[in-house]
Amino acid sequence: MADRKKLVLVGNGMAGVRAIEHLIKLAPDAYSITIFGAEPYPNYNRIMLSSVLAGGTDMKDIVINDWDWYTDNHIQLHAGHAVTKIDTKRKKVYSQQGVEADYDVLVIATGSNPFMLPLPGANKEGVIGFRDIRDTEIMQETSQKYKKAAVIGGGLLGLEAARGLLNLGMDVHVVHINSILMNRELDEPAARMLQRELEAQGMKFLLNKQSASITGRRRVKALEFADGSEVEADLIVMAVGIRPNVELAKASGIEVNRGIVVDDFMRTNVPDVYAVGECAEHRGRAYGLVAPLYEQGAVLAKLLAGVETEGYQGSVTSTKLKVSGVDVFSAGQFNEGPGTRALRMQDDLSGTYKKIVFKDGKLVGAVLFGDTADGPELFSIMKKGESVEGREKELLLGFSPAAGGSGSSVSDRLAAMADDEIVCGCNGVSKGAIADAVQNKGCNTLASIKGCTKASASCGGCKSQVEGLLKLYAGDAAGVPAKEGICGCTDHSRDEIVAAIKEMRLMTVKEVMNVMHWKNEEGCSKCRPSLNYYLGMLWPGEYEDQKESRFTNERYHANIQKDGTYSVVPRVYGGVTTPADLIKIATVAEKYDVPMVKFTGGQRLDLLGIKKEDLPKIWEELDMPSGHAYGKTLRTVKTCVGNTFCRFGTQDAIGMGIRMEKAFERMTAPAKVKLAVSGCPRNCAEATIKDFGVVAIDGGWELHVGGNGGVHVRATELLCIVKTEDEVMEWSSAFLQYYRENATWNERTAQWIERVGLDHVKKALENREDRMALVERLETTLSHTKDPWKEIVENKELRKNFEQLSAPQPVQG
């Protein structure tokens, strides 16, 4: 990687990271990439925050590129690092946390900031914008304590925020300075229809109102208007617009106007410095919608990759409102002006409205309310700038059969679309990407296309177009699910893959993919780890574990946290520790300024908030085995004190638990595994909600399997009763190995037992000869493993490689 140019991206948002995605595809070996993101999260879909707020989407579902994506693509991510200085002469950037990075190429994608009205009292608690995950969390938290909210701004973002707050149970007033809602996107008839629909949903409106001041002591109490009236509010959300975030660029001597001034190739006035996204100003215009930002990113990626591009020519934009039960579409020049003509169609009974505007024989604008199915088609015509003379009324009547048009016209227009035309604006998915998913990857349903490309996975506005393309390319097979594989990269099931690995003695992940004709030759974050596990399980001692096919946590032997730091959990056998180990943990925690040391539910100590570059030294100085709190392996063996101290104890629960933990501590598995040993039927160690639970009884032990204490709680089922500790080890080893060999990747024992049935497992283990064969296979596997941190400490070359991977980019000069 030494001959690669150094590219630094300032901003971990949608526009900048999309440019990096394109660049990696076009020139995967050209750049060594470092990204600074002010938020402590991986790249996420900001436009879906309103869906998260409304409760229709989970936060995890809006992540575009997870932590593993950065590692898989050898990208150094500094999450939670705001860049405070750019030295364009020395070609360096500096973060607030003191990290420096050199660059050959710098891309600024700092996005925009919400415009906060400079009202008296605007600094009170309970006054926020609506721009990022933290704003969303504040609104959700506030709704638990307070009930009255005011949203200033009746535009797209304000209405989405108001809808979300309504869903959270708040009483919501929308305050707007204009006489109609969404006045930048809708004409008056459409705006009035929208207002009636939202009022029916419970939203309240205060139009023609100019906000004057915010009252209250520490926390907001009310919003006062210029006319002397007021509205009570415990929460005020300002959604009155955004401003390009240009302060960093301006302070660095880069030319700014409203945004960072760029040319058609996204170049600033400073050599080797580029800007994309909401912070950029192109031909006097800054864009706040995602489609133009993706178009800019594609141009920049081609330029940096040395691929010919005609440059960015500006964008025609369209808008969709993401509010449940309301369909609104707007694009182009929808208000009549000199030289324009308009056609309208309004149906108050069905609640639909359509207006299209023409100029010089071309379609230049459209507003749709109630039925927006024709929106993508109209927008496509608008962007092409083709003549529609003589077809104006046809466009008004619509393309879909429901609207009176012919269904074939939709198919013809979809076939005529350019392959690089964006169909899903939220996720930047082109027509060509959807065609490839259907024709080459076996995606015959909307759900499979969504899973493969993310098209229609966000606001859903492109659903009709995606379905049309599915029908166009799949024909009669449309809607028929392809054979269910372990992921979208293959049609092969887990059992077929394992059988092929055995029969053909396939020995590497790449070999499996090649021999079994993977659709995606690189695989994905779902199939690569599963193949890595199956190969290791089948060929212990022969297969060389592929670190690049493991998840980030497993590669770093620590749990990554939401702020980009890590959590380290040393092994504490059976929850029993020593003063010496406690001193080691305390010494390390003090030396490395560990922000928090917490007792876990598994009777261990968790060191939270550790920097990635400190991980090798911390593990070496702890000199304790890893507790594997991060992997698909044995996590914990929880114990009670048993008969060692407890007057109710019937057996030595501590001794049994420590013996099991030491026996299985390095065992990999299809999913995480938790064990517990209770010294009597009072079950203080909660053994009956573990993957394998041992409960002491008079003269013996009950062995329980298939429990889960997580989101879907499942009590264990009784496998058998044994008399001795040796029998406990024999049965537990056999059970765990049988699970290892037969469960699918990522399948917990609870789901596995439900799928195959307890009787099946009992039958497989009832013969002692079969049990001992399983025990022997597990012992063989474990004989080839050692604690990963021992390996790193002892192997100098491996240690060096890890430290290079973990360390920040080196500073030159």
Res 482: pLDDT: 57
Q: Report the share of the chain in percent with pLDDT over 90.
A: 59
Res 794: pLDDT: 60
Scored b (16 or more CB within 10 A) or e, 607-629 reads bbbbbbebbbebbeebebbbbbb
pLDDT tier at 799, thresholds 50, 70, 90: low
pLDDT tier at 811, thresholds 50, 70, 90: very low
Res 287: pLDDT: 92
Query: What number is the average pLDDT over the span 504-509?
Result: 92
User: What are the DSSP E strand ranges found in 91-191?
Assistant: 92-95, 100-102, 105-108, 112-114, 127-128, 148-152, 171-176
pLDDT tier at 402, thresholds 50, 70, 90: very low
Res 437: pLDDT: 85
Res 544: pLDDT: 84
pLDDT tier at 72, thresholds 50, 70, 90: confident
Closest CA to 3 of 107, 104, 108: 104
Residue 631 CA to residue 350 CA, distance in Å, equals 55
For the chain, helix, strand, coil in percent to 5 are 40, 25, 40
- Give how far Cα 131 sits from Cα of 55, 171, 185, 249, 319, Å: 17, 21, 20, 21, 18
Largest CA distance in the chain: 96
Q: Record the pTM.
A: 0.69
Report pLDDT digits (tens) over 663-696.
999 899 999 999 999 999 999 999 999 999 999 9
The separation between CA 489 and the C-alpha centre of its own chain, rounded to angstroms, equals: 20
Answer yes or no: is pLDDT of 449 > 50.
yes
Q: How open is the CA angle 776-781-786, to the nearest 5 degrees?
A: 130
Residue 277 CA to residue 294 CA, distance in Å, equals 8
Res 805: pLDDT: 45
Res 810: pLDDT: 33
> H or E segment at 191?
helix 188-200
CB 565 within 8 A of CB 611: yes
Mean pLDDT of the chain: 88
- Structure tokens that stand for 46 in this block: 């900001």
* Bigger pLDDT: 499 vs 420: 499
- Structure tokens that stand for 247 in this block: 């302060």
Question: Residue 512: what are its φ and ψ, rounded to 5°?
Answer: -60, -45
**Rg value, the chain, Cα:** 30
Answer yes or no: is pLDDT of 757 > 50.
yes
Q: What is the DSSP letter of 270?
A: S
Query: What number is the average pLDDT over the span 122-144?
Result: 94
Which of 587-591, 623-627, 634-638 has the least mean pLDDT? Answer: 623-627
Res 463: pLDDT: 79
Residue 12 CA to residue 40 CA, distance in Å, equals 10
Closest CA to 16 of 40, 41, 43, 39: 43
Answer yes or no: is pLDDT of 483 > 70.
no
Q: What are the beta bridge partners of residue 37? A: 79
User: Under DSSP, is residue 690 helix (H, G, I), strand (E, B) or coil?
Assistant: coil
Residue 677 CA to residue 685 CA, distance in Å, equals 6
Answer yes or no: is pLDDT of 466 > 90.
no
Answer yes or no: is pLDDT of 474 > 90.
no
pLDDT tier at 704, thresholds 50, 70, 90: very high
User: Phi-psi category of 169—alpha, beta or left, where left has phi over 0 and alpha has psi -120 to 50?
Assistant: left
Torsion, CA 555, CA 556, CA 561, CA 562, rounded to 10 = -60
Query: What number is the average pLDDT over the span 649-658?
Result: 93
Residue 206 CA to residue 215 CA, distance in Å, equals 18
Answer yes or no: is pLDDT of 711 > 80.
no
- Structure tokens that stand for 115 in this block: 């415009």
* Strand order across the 673-678 sheet: 634-639, 673-678, 692-697, 700-705, 717-722
Residue 267 CA to residue 462 CA, distance in Å, equals 32
Residue 570 CA to residue 579 CA, distance in Å, equals 14
> H or E segment at 262?
strand 260-262
Report pLDDT digits (tens) over 346-385.
998 889 999 999 999 999 999 999 988 888 888 888 888 8
Q: If 0-12 CB within 10 Å is exposed, 13-18 middle and 19+ buried, where does residue 359 land?
A: middle
Question: Residue 482: what are its φ and ψ, rounded to 5°?
Answer: -70, 170
- Structure tokens that stand for 525 in this block: 């974050």
Res 171: pLDDT: 96
Characterize the bridge pairing of strands 717-722 and 700-705: antiparallel
Characterize the bridge pairing of strands 105-108 and 273-275: parallel
What are the structural domains, with CATH classification, of the chain?
5-112+244-305 (3.50.50.60), 127-240 (3.50.50.60), 494-550 (no CATH), 554-783 (3.30.413.10)
Q: How many CB atoms lie within 10 A of CB 432?
A: 14
Read off the amino acid at residue 105. Answer: V
Instruction: Tell me the three-class secondary structure of 344-358, residue by residue.
Output: EEEECCCCEEEEEEE
Answer yes or no: is pLDDT of 330 > 50.
yes
